[in-house]
Chains A and B, each alone.
Chain A
Amino acid sequence: MLNFIYQHFSIQTVAWLIVAFPLVGSIINWLIAAATSKKETEAFRGLTAFVGVGFPLLAFLAVGICYLTLIGFDGVDPKFVTGPLFQWAAGPGLTIDIGLNLDQLSLVMALVVTGVGTLIHLYSVGYMSHEPAYARYFAELNLFLFFMLILVLADNLLLMFVGWEGVGLCSYMLIGFWFEDIAKATAGSKAFIVNRIGDAAFLLGMFLIYGVMAAAQADPAHGYLNFATMASNSAAFAPVATIVALLLFVGACGKSAQIPLYVWLPDAMAGPTPVSALIHAATMVTAGVYMVVRLNFIYVLSPTAMEVVATVGAATAIFAATMGITATDIKKVLAYSTVSQLGYMFLACGVGAFSGAIFHLVTHAFFKALLFLGSGSVIHALHGEQDIRKMGGLKHKIPLTCWTFVIGSCALAGIIPTAGFFSKDAILWHAYSSGHIGLWLVGFVAAGMTAFYIFRLVGLVFFGQTTLSTDQWKKVHESPVSMLIPLLLLAGLSIGGGLFGVPEVMGGGDILGHWLSSIVPQVISHGGEEMHSQEIVLMVITSLWGLHFTVLGWVIYTQKRAWPIKMAEKLGAMYRLIANRYYIDEIYDALIVRPLVSFSRAFLWKGVDDVAIDGLVVYGTARSIGVFGRLASLLQTGVLQQYLLYFLIGAVIIVGYIAL
């Protein structure tokens, strides 16, 4: 099979197919959506689903082929670049190639994106089956996949930015998928606008990089923004590394929902649940982490920037975890959990453990997709109910969903030997061993909270007494097979996915770390028996800590449900502060949005725009230009003799200039 492909296609072609497949799927589904009215879509459902799932699967297979090819390169640095498919623009100092870059890092990302993506597409077939705009849904989801693959496979920063903006667009469209509901449409707009803030900083960072590369007279053959060109001239960044790194990090904060730009992600749960799983948990929100890892050669030049990244990450991890404890909407809990876990990834980046960040990114994609899909299955079973206080005891009705969800929760809580244990432990260990004891402690506490809030969720939803009425209880049903298959596969990955990164002290090979070693620096030296013993001690402490909170959360919320309510009453103000999400939305509203709006309305609109810009500049210029225009057209009298007069005047001027 593989030989057949090698004989007929170059590997570059296969690489292009990776991004082409989802695009084709999207186009076909857009055509179906555009060409059929609401009634007719019924007839096309089969085709839509086939195309919508088939093309992502083909993309996954193409990634797989590339992967198998690359691991076939034994000993040499396995990496290849497709080179420019075409040169979009070329000029002195500015070359923009459209090219893909398949190396260890982008392949790992592409495998996750297409693998998890395919499963979520499959899940959507069942989940969205009652949806009239079926084709539009798959068209947008496939389009998302296309842009996400562009983002991770791009060989230059500019093309990556194209993907970056593209996924933002798809995220906006899918959050507001049910745009008739004004609240959902607003949530989409909020995500889009908050991301603009980050993207503005991203652009500034990109301009700065361009300036640095131009000043350093880098090889312009593939453009200054090519990753390889940037990496080979990374020394030139030294004077401005901090500012470049921080600007890009602000961009990452927007996309990856970090403090202070995380506010859009909880609201993004307005979209369909598979969308939350794919875009707002597994793939798009990790783009910021990917970007930081991809540009690690800039970040390592600036200890200050690294410190900021690590601190913001740790702060986000614990801050979001506290909100996860009090949230009552099943998807909101998972959303805060995502924000918190992304904080861990940035913590890892900040302490120099880039491969640890990618490892956690991968395992998180598995178990968070599983949790979201599981929650979707619950919501599906309860016909749209999302409040966890109104559930309970569901393990009897939907056992498969329940047990896969428990597996995902174990992975999130970091219970040995699930995938989440290894990846979270790697991050905490690197934070500790690199001397960031304070940050380690924050991450450690947050890990406990994580275990607590997710098993609170499990206890309230699946165990204990049900709070559903008998009528509702009867209607609860297990999801269709197309939704259960992805759950089972992801559950398997959540358990086994950690094997790629079992640390050396536990007899593992840290496969992922070695695989990425040519791209990211190996910061941590595992030198000395003393370090080994420390690592093992910490590992034991962390796992016991997590296990303790797991049991605690589960016991309290299955058996002693009255107790936390009393606790909440006792803590009073503290509880209300957290339950109201620290009033961050309100604070932003009061401090930024409203002053901005009233300033804009009173001064910028009524003052600057109406009077100065519209009155003077726009209408003023228009009027004066209009006057000139009338003058110019007055020349056109229609009288031939006058035309010849103009002619003669011109002739005299020309002769005067040239001949005299």
Chain B
Amino acid sequence: MNWFQFLGLTLPWLIVLGASLTVLFLGTLMKRGAHAVSMAISLLSLVAALFLSWQHWVADVTVSMGMMSFGRMTFLGWMVIAIASIFTVLLSHDYLARRKLGHPEYYSLILLSTVGMASLIAGSHLMLIFLGIEVMSIAVYALAGFLRHRLSGNEAALKYFLTGAFASAFLLLGIAFIFGTTKTMDLTVLAEQLPTVLSGDMASWFLFGVAMVLIGFAFKIAAVPFHAWAPDAYDGAPTPITQFMATAVKAAAFFALLRVASPLVVAVGPGWAKTLWLLSAATMIIGNLAALMQDNLKRMLAYSSIAHAGYALVAFPTLSTQTPELVHGVIFYLIAYTFMTAGSFAIVAFAQGQGESADVSHVAGLAKRHPWMAASFTIFLLSLTGFPPTLGFFGKYFLFSGAIKNGSIGLVVLALLSSAVSAYYYLRPIVVMYFHESREGVLERTSPATSLVAVVTIAFLAILYFGIFPSDLLAIVQRSGM
């Protein structure tokens, strides 16, 4: 093993890891200004990670080393989580400053969590994947309860942690069964051994393990019925962390699921298609229906994020190594979803001000007070609904057209019907922003923080640019292989 090359390839995340530790030490050394400094260090390290991942992507290295395998898909995943985390860091500064909670460990935890995601995405060994998930999750458990003086914050952290621990047990048990039946945890070796294992007498124990692993992942992407923690955790967590959970955590879990699933799906046979069909259908239907009833913007976006995971799952029943268009559809959708969700949460964080939560009525009259914010939120919501010419439209288009090509017509019809239902709750804030008068007491013109405007602007431009020229983004995704 070429350690020098290994260091080079993992450098983006070594930088982030270093930054995380630096921030933690700074917190003990500096009394004043620690907040700004730690935010700056975090931001710089993530931007460096994004840049280096991009460099790797351009260099197009494909190599397996130890428990990790690198390729363009890995680097693309790294870029997605780097971007999502950059958004989180940018949103956090203002959010924490308003609440006088600017503790450096907050940033340190975000960075640690991203390092976990990076190894989750690059992992080609079940043990590393499990470790990645745990490193990622434990940091997020702590972050979800960061508003520790608030009851809902504690509730969020505790519920997330307990159900998460439950899910981890399933995942670990599944890995144990797979290891027990195949004597390996390396995905490449596993793929080679599949035929022998499946024809042997241990086959059903092996499949039991696969089912358990799938359950573990279904929890991380908040698929119904493993979703119940999400609305409570999303609501109680600080808004930037909600955004982090909805974008970075979910994207990382999907990248890993794609990598784990593609060798296993063929083996599992028709049972896989049925299971994933059910998961996908239940997730989008329950997600969209429950979102209809929400007045709280964060809970609404939480259910919306559940529904979007259901859309992404549309590609999974017919997934195989011969269907690159499905993989690309999912990845493209994840990227689109990251931008529009991050943008929406930025607006929610802004509308929330100092308050504990953000109701739909908080954005009333936003069009008069902050026309650009209202216009951006409109674009984000239209994109979430899937209107052209936004990125969300093409995300759905590529995803569903790939699924139709592979015969999942019934599921796509369900997805389209439930996204028609979703139009109701996505359009409602637009109506409220443009046609309702501001509530008493929010008349004062608080101008949004620069960092928040940056997030909104980047997301806005990305959604419109790639919505009009989707082929640019599609080319990047398609050239990433599988």
Contact = CB atoms under 8 A, between A and B. Distances in A.
A650 B212 contact: no
Contacts of B468: 88
A99 to B, nearest CB: 15
B372 interface: no
Contacts of B275: 653-654, 657-658
B293 A658 contact: no
B305 to A, nearest CB: 14
Interface string A78-107: 000000001111110000000000000000
A401 B290 CA distance: 72
B181 to A, nearest CB: 11
Interface in A605-651: 622, 625-626, 628-633, 635-636, 638, 640, 642-644, 646-647, 649-651
A562 interface: no
A647 B208 contact: no
Interface string A350-390: 00000000000000000000000000000000000000000
Given A87-B471, A635-B228, A643-B229, A654 B290 contact: no
Most chain B Cβ neighbours within 10 Å, of A88, A625, A632: A632
A182 interface: no
A660 B204 contact: yes
A653 B294 CA distance: 29
Contacts of A659: 204, 207-208, 210-211, 271
A631 B290 CA distance: 8
A658 B228 contact: no
Contacts of B47: none
A658 B226 contact: no
B474 to A, nearest CB: 9
A643 B211 contact: no
B369 interface: no
User: What is the interface of chain B mostly: helix, strand, loop, or mixed?
Assistant: helix
A507 B224 CA distance: 85
Contacts of B163: 640, 643-644, 647
B359 to A, nearest CB: 16
A608 to B, nearest CB: 21
Contacts of B211: 651, 654-655, 657-659
Contacts of B159: 640, 643
Nearest to A630: B293
Interface string B205-243: 001101110110011000011101101100000000000
A214 to B, nearest CB: 17
A301 B268 CA distance: 58
Contact of A649 (B225, B401, B471): B225
Contacts of B218: 650, 654
B166 interface: yes
B268 A635 contact: no
B290 A635 contact: yes
B228 A636 contact: yes
B250 to A, nearest CB: 18
B148 interface: no
B14 interface: no
Interface size class of chain A, counting residues whose CB lies under 8 Å from the partner chain: 20 to 34
Interface size class of chain B, counting residues whose CB lies under 8 Å from the partner chain: 35 or more
Contacts of B210: 658-659
Nearest to A90: B471
B286 A632 contact: yes
Contacts of A636: 228, 231-232, 290
B427 interface: no
B289 A632 contact: yes
Most chain A Cβ neighbours within 10 Å, of B163, B215, B225: B225
Contacts of A647: 163, 166-167, 219, 225-226, 228
B143 to A, nearest CB: 20
A658 B271 contact: yes
Nearest to B167: A647
B194 to A, nearest CB: 14
B51 interface: no
B157 to A, nearest CB: 12
B25 interface: no
Contacts of B332: none
Interface in A519-566: none
B278 A629 contact: no
A654 B217 CA distance: 12
B435 interface: no
B255 interface: no
A640 B162 contact: yes
A647 B401 CA distance: 31
A35 to B, nearest CB: 14
Contacts of B316: none
Contacts of A622: 424
Most chain B Cβ neighbours within 10 Å, of A87, A636, A653, A657: A657
Nearest to B268: A658
Contacts of A655: 208, 211-212, 215
Contacts of A635: 228, 286, 290
B394 to A, nearest CB: 9
Contacts of A642: 228
A654 B214 CA distance: 8
Most chain B Cβ neighbours within 10 Å, of A89, A629, A636, A654: A654
B72 to A, nearest CB: 22
A653 B278 contact: yes
B226 A650 contact: yes
A636 B226 CA distance: 12
A657 B401 CA distance: 27
B162 A650 contact: no
A600 to B, nearest CB: 26
B170 interface: yes
Which A-B residue pairs are the 9 nearest by beta carbons? A643-B228, A629-B292, A632-B289, A650-B225, A646-B225, A632-B290, A658-B211, A659-B208, A659-B207
Interface of A: 86-91, 622, 625-626, 628-633, 635-636, 638, 640, 642-644, 646-647, 649-651, 653-655, 657-660
22 contacts: A628-B289, A629-B289, A633-B289, A638-B232, A640-B159, A644-B163, A644-B166, A646-B226, A646-B228, A647-B225, A647-B226, A647-B228, A649-B225, A651-B170, A651-B212, A654-B215, A657-B211, A657-B278, A658-B210, A658-B271, A659-B204, A659-B211
